[in-house]
Amino acid sequence: MGNLPGLRHLELIDLMLDTREAQYLLDEVCSVCCTTLHTLVVVNTTKLNYQLLHVGVFLNLQVLVISPQNLGDDVVHLLANTALRHLHLVQNGYTPEDLVFKPVSSQVWSLCRLTNPRLAVHLEVEGPRNRDPLWQRKAPVHSVLYQSPHARVHSAILQRDRRD
């Protein structure tokens, strides 16, 4: 992937790598495209929880689509200091159901909102499974998208963050 200078869009979907493999996945892309990449889609890059810190070094990234197992406090800290405008947190049919996803801390989201006030977070659930999105307390959530025949939207869930 290092032979693609000027790359603006990259999609890597459902790779389900081990954490050792994911650790070096975007090294060459970072070194060649850290200022040119505008859209990055890395859905289900790993099978287990593993923060993809690489996504935070693309300075002109506008859209990032990522799965909950690859997002964490450190990644959001990095993203807050970029030009990122849309962060899509996607769970699809290949997102492991048996993983316990830890949401980003509310303190980190609050700091991110101050540093990058134009960032919009979009929570998305796709596929046939019956699941809720990983709610991100204090995140600047602009939309919640269910593309599933088993969508379960309850007003109590949507009002949860408003009480804080």
**CATH code for residues 9-163:** 3.80.10.10
Highest mean pLDDT among 54-58, 96-100, 127-131, 159-163: 54-58
Measured distance CA(122)–CA(43) in Å, rounded: 14
Measured distance CA(50)–CA(23) in Å, rounded: 9
Q: Does 81 score more than 90 pLDDT?
A: yes
What integer pLDDT is reported at residue 46 of this predicted model?
Answer: 96
Torsion of CA 63, 66, 23, 62, to 10 degrees: 10
Mean pLDDT across the chain: 90
pLDDT tens, 119-149? 999 999 998 877 788 889 999 999 989 887 7
**Range 77-86 average pLDDT:** 96
Structural domain spans, the chain: 9-163
Please name the amino acid found at residue 23.
Q
Measured distance CA(33)–CA(59) in Å, rounded: 9
- How deeply is 74 buried, as exposed, middle or buried, from its count of CB atoms within 10 A (0-12, 13-18, 19+)? middle
- 50 versus 4: the higher-pLDDT residue is 50
**Minimal CA–CA distance to 107: which of 136, 149, 70?**
136
pLDDT tens, 17-57? 999 999 999 999 999 999 999 999 999 999 999 999 999 99
Output the CA angle 34-24-19, nearest 5 degrees: 130
What integer pLDDT is reported at residue 163 of this predicted model?
Answer: 46
